[in-house]
């Protein structure tokens, strides 16, 4: 089972602009892939029209209203009410995922973030990760759970976290300095700090501390697919999964490859989505290289105050562009190269 967690405070148009699930379903169908994704709505399903919901199921999604489930879980963790809605749902989605997996009687579940665009058949990806348990490269955008003790550990640790957040975060920072499981050996990235501690940070910590089940990097990358969590840094895990291959995405029969491995998905996290828009704007006037120098996390921004300021200015200009519009533009063909724009954009990010 593959699950995506959703919530909305607006109707059809608002939701689709922010989380383009219809677009993604159409993308899967266009590629000839059956849609195995279950959409778990934590809030707001009733705000979507019957027609929109029908279109979701018609394109292959299973839709579940999890509002009553999340409300019961909030009752077990009243401290979560002090968090923003988004933070609360991030933390508690894992508890809901446990309940959904239990009611579906499934022995393996994949959590997929709502801003992920699959680039390979999701059913074959599911088969590829069979028997493994891992969060990919320090981010829950793709998280495979086969060892169901994962959920027991999570619930226990979440109780400890909400009981004394300050002490918990201090312990996490200590672990970051001397992790029991080194990041590179366990496909992890401990990027958290003292001023921000969301569920992703907690997961990074629990993997580093050896508490959550986590496959080794060697086990994870023994795969037919090339896994990129952060498309702004597509080469970050290149040596572990495609050593000797050129650091470049090539298109073949409509699919994206690095070497002989098909790219699994693209994660349109916020910074990357804004960069897609910036790259397209500059490429329209033949300034692709300038766009690349403004890339978030890129060397230009890291070494130049001017480029950093210019990049942040472009981020601000592009912050209101709908995610659906970004997807639609990224998956059209670049007449200058014959590639889809998304391929050229990510190829501008190799270091």
- Is 331 found in the same domain as 230? no
pLDDT tens-place string over residues 259-273 = 999 999 999 998 899
Cα distances from 139 to residues 73, 224, 290, 314, in angstroms, run 23, 21, 29, 25
- Is 150 found in the same domain as 238? no
Q: What is the mean pLDDT of residues 6-24?
A: 96
The answer to the question of residue 220 being in a domain is no
CA atoms within a 13 Å half-sphere pointing along the CA-CB vector of 313? 7
The confidence score (pLDDT) of residue 160 equals 96
The answer to the question of residue 219 being in a domain is no
The answer to the question of residue 300 being in a domain is yes
The answer to the question of residue 169 being in a domain is yes
- Is 7 found in the same domain as 148? yes
Closest by alpha carbon to 345, among 308, 293, 305, 292? 292
pLDDT at 301 over 60: no
pLDDT tens-place string over residues 174-227 = 999 889 999 999 999 999 988 889 999 999 999 999 999 999 999 999 999 999
The confidence score (pLDDT) of residue 137 equals 94
pLDDT at 144 over 70: yes
pLDDT band at 306 (very low <50, low <70, confident <90, very high): low
- Is 256 found in the same domain as 279? no
pLDDT band at 274 (very low <50, low <70, confident <90, very high): confident
The answer to the question of residue 52 being in a domain is yes
- Is 280 found in the same domain as 177? no
pLDDT tens-place string over residues 243-254 = 999 999 999 998
- Is 322 found in the same domain as 177? no
- Is 133 found in the same domain as 83? yes
pLDDT band at 305 (very low <50, low <70, confident <90, very high): low
pLDDT at 18 over 70: yes
- Is 104 found in the same domain as 8? yes
3-state secondary structure of 294: coil
Helix (H) or strand (E) holding 40: strand 37-43
The answer to the question of residue 218 being in a domain is no
- Is 274 found in the same domain as 263? no
- Is 332 found in the same domain as 292? yes
Characterize the bridge pairing of strands 225-226 and 250-252.
Answer: unpaired
- Distance between CA atoms of residues 101 and 146, nearest Å: 11
Range of the domain at 234: 225-267
Domain with residue 191: its CATH number is 3.90.550
Looking up tokens 């009611």, which residue turns up? 103
Over the chain, what is the mean pLDDT? 92
- The neighbour count for residue 18, using CB atoms within 10 Å, is 16
The confidence score (pLDDT) of residue 79 equals 95
The confidence score (pLDDT) of residue 284 equals 73
More confident residue, 312 or 137: 137
Query: Which residues have CB under 8 Å from 84's CB, separation 6+?
Result: none
- Is 47 found in the same domain as 24? yes
**Domain total in the chain:** 3
The answer to the question of residue 216 being in a domain is no
- Is 302 found in the same domain as 232? no
- Indicate the range of 117-126, 150-159, 206-215, 282-291 predicted with least confidence: 282-291
pLDDT at 333 over 90: yes
Q: DSSP letters of 92-129? A: HHHHHHHHHHHHHT-S-EEEE-TTEEE-S-HHHHHHHT
The confidence score (pLDDT) of residue 302 equals 58
The answer to the question of residue 214 being in a domain is no
pLDDT at 329 over 80: yes
């Amino acid at each position: 089972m593959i699950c995506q967690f959703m919530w909305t405070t607006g109707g059809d148009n608002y939701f689709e602009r922010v989380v383009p699930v219809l677009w993604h379903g159409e993308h899967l169908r266009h590629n000839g892939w059956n849609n195995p994704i279950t959409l778990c709505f934590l809030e707001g399903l009733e705000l979507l029209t019957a027609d929109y919901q029908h279109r979701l199921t018609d394109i292959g999604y299973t839709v579940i209203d999890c509002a009553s489930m999340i409300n019961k879980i909030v009752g077990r963790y009243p401290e979560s009410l002090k968090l923003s809605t988004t933070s609360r749902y991030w933390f508690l989605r894992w508890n809901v995922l446990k309940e959904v997996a239990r009611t579906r009687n499934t022995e393996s579940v994949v959590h997929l973030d709502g801003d992920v665009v699959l680039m390979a058949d999701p059913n074959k990806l599911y088969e590829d990760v069979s028997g493994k348990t891992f969060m990919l490269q320090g981010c829950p955008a793709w998280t495979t759970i086969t060892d169901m003790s994962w959920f027991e550990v999570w619930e226990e640790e979440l109780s400890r976290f909400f009981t004394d957040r300050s002490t918990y975060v201090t312990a996490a920072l200590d672990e970051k300095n001397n992790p029991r499981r080194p990041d590179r050996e366990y496909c992890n990235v401990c990027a958290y700090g003292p001023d921000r501690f969301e569920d992703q940070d907690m997961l990074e910590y629990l993997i580093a501390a050896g508490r959550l089940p986590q496959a080794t990097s060697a086990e994870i990358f023994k795969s037919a697919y090339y896994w990129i969590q952060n498309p702004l840094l597509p080469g970050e895990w290149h040596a572990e999964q495609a050593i000797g291959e050129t650091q470049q995405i090539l298109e073949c029969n409509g699919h994206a490859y690095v070497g002989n491995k098909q790219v699994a998905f693209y994660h349109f996290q916020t910074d990357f989505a804004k960069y897609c828009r910036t790259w397209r704007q500059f490429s329209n006037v033949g300034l692709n290289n300038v766009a690349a120098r403004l890339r978030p996390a890129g060397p230009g921004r890291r070494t130049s105050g001017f480029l950093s300021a210019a990049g942040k200015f472009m981020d601000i200009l592009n912050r209101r562009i709908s995610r659906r519009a970004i997807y639609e533009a990224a998956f059209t063909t670049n007449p200058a190269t014959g590639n889809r724009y998304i391929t050229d954009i990510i190829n501008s990010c190799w270091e």
